[in-house]
A and B are shown apart, each in its own frame.
Chain A
Amino acid sequence: MLVRAIAIAVGLMGGSAAMAQQNPQSPRDTTPAFTSVDSIDARVQGCVTCHGHQGQGTSSGYFPRIAGKPAGYLYNQLLAFKNGTRKYPPMNYLVAYLPDKYLHEIAEHFAGERPPFAAREITPADPAVVTRGQSLVTGGDESRGIPACVACHGERLTGMEPGIPGLAGLRPTYIVAQLTRWQLGDRHATEPDCMKRIATRLSDQDIVAVAAWLSRQEAPKDLSPESSNLIRMPLACGSQPRK
């Protein structure tokens, strides 16, 4: 329960006065700047104070990295923010009146960016918890019908084209918040929503464990997502159509 309370509190924090106190480590990453007005770079300046210039995410806690994730995944998220099925009011408001085609272009733009990862943010955790996290991510838990995360998110955790995001380099607070939102029905993906099925099978302790292990992993050098459907996924996912 505590985990949920924290996750929700963090989720609601973005954009509130509380965050105004925290200054990002390197202000240049989040200060608007561009060279040519008529470029996609100038057009996505509306995103930079939160996601950074290349979508690297900013150090103020909750703002996620979006760079290098599969374009299809980013596009699905932007559509979900636009039509309100994924909720984060500051983003829902920004993209509400942007045409789908433009959102696609913006998704392509950030999918193509390869900024370096920020320093890992490691929260203290019991070694046993970290080991539990590792076994869930790499092997799942058959007895409870939890498939290995790597089966879909890729052996190197860099995701899979076109619809599955990487899990490398995400902050632990963000991972906990997203999985909790799926459990609570506050985040949805296209049906069949495989992540909902998985998240509801995870206990609060599992979620903490997974986040702890994932955030301890060094991001791989080559961030490119795996190509589409080289493997059969253990569960069907609406956002990852089968060929």
Chain B
Amino acid sequence: MRKRTRFALFVVIGLVVAMVALYLLRPGLLPRMEGARTNATTEIIERGEYLARAGDCVACHTEVNGPAFAGGRPMPTPFGNLYVPNITPDDDTGIGLWSSDDFYRMMHTGVSRDGTLLYPAMPFANYTNVTREDSDAIYAYLMSVPPVKRENRPHELRFPFNQRELLIGWRTLYFREGEYQPDPKQSEQWNRGAYLVKGLGHCSMCHTAVNALGGSRESQAFEGGMIPNQNWYAPSLTSNREAGLGNWDLQDIADLLQVGTSKRGAVYGPMAEVVYNSLQYLTDDDAKAMAVYLRSLPPRDSEPPPPSQARLVDPSVMELGRKTYEEQCSMCHGKEGEGHGVSFPPLAGNQSITMSSPVNSIRMVLNGGYSPGTKKNPRPHGMPPFSHLLDDKAVAAVVTYIRVAWNNSGTPVTPEQANELRTLIPE
């Protein structure tokens, strides 16, 4: 017992010493290089705009209805609100005085111009993959947008999370710095897809479970998880029981990302935002490349899905579900859940309905939703909300029904689960 306490003490002291050392060694301002700012050509600025879209910078750095990139948007986290900073090239309140070196250091290591360590809500853990050349193009683009004078609003994080020094510990545990290294065994297309998905796309930020420290491990990348504070479930991209794409056609994957809907399913909630602000602007080639990479992600579980649970469902619940489905849903999703082309997604054989978390399906029934309007689908179809027409029992029954009917392999849901989500404000 004694020995163990002493050992623990050593570990603690060691950690404290390491933290202090790291704190003292934390980065400061970069040396100024006079005349280092090169003249960006139109071509570079345009490429930068394209890459900034791929990185979806605008989604976080713009307040609803506010000027692009001028910040101010609250970003709720389990630790309190962050207020996203102004990244327009205003000299006093934005990043107008930053050099391309400052900008690359920020993208690559998560350190701001003055040496401040950034919170990982800025997805630098993904952007570290971005090449110097691409970082410079994004920089050139941001320097070309209209500067907006607008002071940053201080974050409202609870103690101890408002202590940025804590980030040193977080970084040691969860942050690996490094540009994307192409895998020579894979095709150029695959590598392009991997670069976009792991880097600018920051897909793992949502599609990976985060732990109590707000960290996620590389080894769990794309395994899916609840998005904190949003109550949407971002499905696993590696499990064919969730949104694993192993058995999808490449074109359907590319459509889902770029068009926002496909023959296999449509996007909604936070994923609709990603498509609307970012993925719809991808070139066909890049959308295809991402599809190639996503389809190749190694499946986490290879066993076949469990057989239908329909026989385990109380017959009266099944009957209420069937009746509700026929009256309220079948005109769009089809008598047998077959859907209708890319307009109304199929519910039969749709993994995103049968996956173990029923949260997304319940929320769809309560709040409805429109697929995002995109360049390739500017007039999307939508689903109406049913929260005011169906009580908890009917919502649970119809969601249970679509999860088990037509040989779907989902499990039943309870009225309590429906009730919990009903009180949330739709977003």
Say whether A associates with B.
yes
A residues contacting B by CB (< 8 A) are 14-17, 19-24, 30-34, 37-38, 42-50, 60, 83-85, 89-90, 92-99, 101-102, 105
A-B contact count (CB 8 A): 121
- Contacting pair A97 B378 (CB below 8 A): no
How far does the Cβ of A236 sit from chain B's closest Cβ, in whole Å? 23
In the bound complex, CA of A60 to CA of B390 (Å): 13
In the bound complex, CA of A31 to CA of B389 (Å): 10
Q: Flag whether B244 is at the interface (Cβ < 8 A).
A: no
- Contacting pair A101 B64 (CB below 8 A): no
Chain B residues near A19: list those with CB within 8 A. Answer: 387-388
Chain A residues near B386: list those with CB within 8 A. Answer: 49
- Contacting pair A43 B382 (CB below 8 A): yes
Q: Flag whether B9 is at the interface (Cβ < 8 A).
A: no
A and B contact pairs by CB, cutoff 8 A, 13 listed: A15-B387, A20-B392, A37-B340, A37-B343, A42-B343, A45-B382, A49-B385, A49-B388, A50-B385, A90-B426, A97-B272, A98-B373, A101-B378
B residues contacting A by CB (< 8 A) are 64-65, 272-273, 275-276, 327-328, 331-332, 340-341, 343-344, 367-370, 372-373, 378-392, 419, 422-423, 425-427
- Contacting pair A20 B389 (CB below 8 A): yes
In the bound complex, CA of A156 to CA of B27 (Å): 71
- Contacting pair B388 A97 (CB below 8 A): no
In the bound complex, CA of A95 to CA of B423 (Å): 20
- Contacting pair A43 B379 (CB below 8 A): yes
- Contacting pair A60 B331 (CB below 8 A): no
Chain B residues near A20: list those with CB within 8 A. Answer: 387-392
Chain A residues near B367: list those with CB within 8 A. Answer: 15, 90, 93-94
In the bound complex, CA of A46 to CA of B389 (Å): 14
- Contacting pair A42 B381 (CB below 8 A): yes
Given A32-B331, A97-B372, A98-B373, CB of A50 within 8 Å of CB of B378: no
In the bound complex, CA of A115 to CA of B134 (Å): 56
Chain A residues near B383: list those with CB within 8 A. Answer: 45-46
Among A22, A89, A97: residue with most chain B CB under 10 A: A97
Chain B residues near A93: list those with CB within 8 A. Answer: 367, 369, 426-427
Q: Which residue of A lies closest to B427 (CB)?
A: A93
Chain B residues near A47: list those with CB within 8 A. Answer: 382, 384
- Contacting pair A46 B382 (CB below 8 A): yes
Given A90-B385, A94-B368, CB of A99 within 8 Å of CB of B65: no
- Contacting pair A45 B381 (CB below 8 A): yes
In the bound complex, CA of A95 to CA of B369 (Å): 8
How far does the Cβ of A34 sit from chain B's closest Cβ, in whole Å? 7
Chain B residues near A98: list those with CB within 8 A. Answer: 370, 372-373, 380
- Contacting pair A15 B370 (CB below 8 A): no
Q: Which residue of B lies closest to A17 (CB)?
A: B422
How far does the Cβ of B405 sit from chain A's closest Cβ, in whole Å? 19
- Contacting pair B419 A17 (CB below 8 A): yes
Q: Which residue of B lies closest to A105 (CB)?
A: B379
